[in-house]
Amino acid sequence: MKVGLVQEEGRTWSSYTTSSLPSDTRDAHICAAQLNVWYGDKLALHDVTLAVDRGTIAAVVGPSGCGKTSFLMCINRLTDMIPRCRVSGALHLDHLNLMSPTIDVLALRRRVGMVFQKPNPFPLSVWDNLALPLKEHGVRKRDELRQRIETVLREVGLWNDVKDRLGHSALALSGGQQQRVCLARALVLSPEVLLLDEPCSSLDPLSSGMIEDLIVSLRGRLTIVIVTHHLAQARRIADSVAVFWAQAGAGWLVESGPTQQIFDSPQHPITAAYIQGHRG
């Protein structure tokens, strides 16, 4: 299998990228090499080679349909649940081979949290939204539940809003509050990686700003991969940026590198045009 090859010859694949990787790849937390995703016969993501350093924020940008969501879903193996979806290539989280059919995906998803584009709190109370994953992963004592839920709700700035109505439906909250519940739900399991799929796209600027601040405050503690359509947002918060593009229906990675470099001296004409387009 290709997988072993990449692990042993750790550095060989960095030559596939159009620009240098963020930093020394041996420190990389998430490592993808020649990653392909198929939906049935349709190639959705082609040959993506990308590394994300531990504790940094990586932004994934690109036009609609270029495989950004597909890329995120490989990292927590949500691709498993899509019928006829196939992934090939190499993908590692630390030393864990994510392509292996035998890994414990439940444990993996505990380490890798995800927030979706559309707020999707469960149709349960705020408390149950957060207690459910905790209980599932072995936290049973009510004191501990309470303490962890309070901590995480404070962290996402929701505690004062909901502390008196933890028993009320999470669906009764506003869209921004719902998205923060989802963020809290992902954080409550203390993951080491957080995947954010356009978390602000359905929110007003104020809620969007709150979530952005929260993401920045998590830098260093977690490795964050955020998909966003706001180039300005990517520039503000990301340490590195990966530009995806769609060609003949298949998404591919145009260029990746430190944020500064991508925005100030893009190597690839597509990147330059994309950034230019958003400036103009």
Partner 1 sequence: MFSINTLSPSRSDYLLATVLRLCAVLSGVVLLLVVVFLVQEAFPALRHVGLVRLFTDDSWHPTEGLYNLLPMLWGTMLVTIGAVSLAAPLAILSAMFCQFYAPVSLARWYRRLIELLAGIPSVVYGFWGLVVLVPMIGNLHPPGPSLLAGMVVLAIMILPTIALLMEASLAAVPQEYLHGALALGLRRWTMIRNIVLPAARSGLFASAVLGVGRALGETMAVLMVCGNVVQIPHSVFAPVRTLTANIALEIAYAFGTHRSALFASGILLLLIVLGIVVVADAVKPRWTYGE
Interface residues with Mg ion (CB under 5 A) are: 69
Q: Which of residues 21-40 bind ligand ATP (CB under 6 A)?
A: 39
Which partner from the list Mg ion, partner 1, ligand ATP, none does 67 bind, CB cut-off 5 to 8 Å by kind?
ligand ATP
**Residue type, position 49, single letter:** T
Who's near 277: CB < 8 A, 6+ residues apart? none
Amino acid, single-letter form, for residue 196 = L
Stretch 56-75 residues interacting with ligand ATP (CB under 6 A):
64-70
Nearer to partner 1, 163 or 236 (CB): 163
Q: Which of 46/109 has CB closer to partner 1? A: 109
Among the listed residues 174, 188, 196, the one whose alpha carbon sits nearest the alpha carbon of residue 75: 196
d(CA 175, CA 229): 19
Burial 48-63 (b: 16+ CB within 10 A, else e): bbbbbbebbbbbbbbe
CB of 120 to ligand ATP, least distance (A): 15
Q: Residue 21 or 203: which CB sits closer to partner 1?
A: 203
Between strands 28-39 and 42-53, the pairing is antiparallel
Helix (H, G, I), strand (E, B) or coil at 108: helix
Instruction: Quote the least distance from Cβ 245 to ligand ATP, whole Å.
Output: 10
Determine the 3-state secondary structure of 266 from DSSP.
coil
Binding residues vs partner 1 (CB under 8 A)? 76, 78, 81, 83, 105-110, 113-114, 116, 118, 120-125, 128, 132-133, 136-137, 167-169, 171-172, 182, 185-186, 189
Find which of partner 1, Mg ion, ligand ATP, none residue 109 binds, CB within 5 to 8 Å per kind: partner 1
- Residue 33, strand partner residues: 90
Phi, psi (degrees; rounded to nearest 5) at 105: -65, -30
Minimum CB distance to partner 1 smaller for 189 or for 262: 189
- Which residues contribute to the site for ligand ATP (CB under 6 A)? 39, 44, 64-70, 82, 249, 251
